[in-house]
Amino acid sequence: MPLNDDPPHVRQIETDRDDAYAFELVGHITAADMENLYGLLEGAYEIHERIDVLVILRGYEGFDWQAAFKEQTMIGKTHALKHIRKYAFIGGPGWMGTMVGLFKPFLSMEMKHFGPDEIDQAWAWLGARPVETAT
């Protein structure tokens, strides 16, 4: 069986709160990555009516824009609006912070963008911490 040289672009980070979910997105984000992320969130909605989410973008190399308009992605976005209380977004290109600012007044969730050097502030704003796991 061949090894997969392309590591997952979406990695879940365990947190110290059962209703706080964190993810690291790395590299180029594809439609499959978005479906994976929204699938993980759908599982969270089955357990908790409302959740808090933190997303860290590292080594951002772009996004498949067609993924934003796929049916599964649109369903995921709609469900997110119903279930997410707080959404912290860390890193990414500068325009992402601008987009958060533009959409924030139209959304029911609290949403805040943090620079890549503000990860501790993002965790504090969310009221959660990452849990260290042994490797």
> Helix (H, G, I), strand (E, B), or coil: what is residue 119?
helix
Domain count, the chain: 1
Number of Cβ within 10 Å of residue 7's Cβ equals: 8
Alpha-carbon distances, residue 19 vs 55, 59, 84, 106, 129 (angstroms)? 15, 27, 10, 24, 12
Query: Which residues, 6+ apart, have CB-to-CB distance to 27 below 8 Å?
Result: 9, 59, 60, 61
Q: Establish if 131 belongs to a structural domain.
A: no
End-to-end CA distance of the chain: 24
Q: What is the CATH number of the domain that holds 82?
A: 3.30.750
- Is 132 domain-assigned? no
SS3 24: strand
In this prediction the pTM is: 0.82
Domain that holds residue 104: 10-126
2 part of a folded domain = no
pLDDT tens per residue across all 135 residues of the chain: 444 555 668 899 999 999 999 999 998 888 788 888 888 888 998 999 999 999 999 887 777 766 655 555 555 556 577 888 999 989 988 777 787 777 776 677 888 999 999 999 999 999 999 998 655
Closest CA to 21 of 87, 76, 72: 87
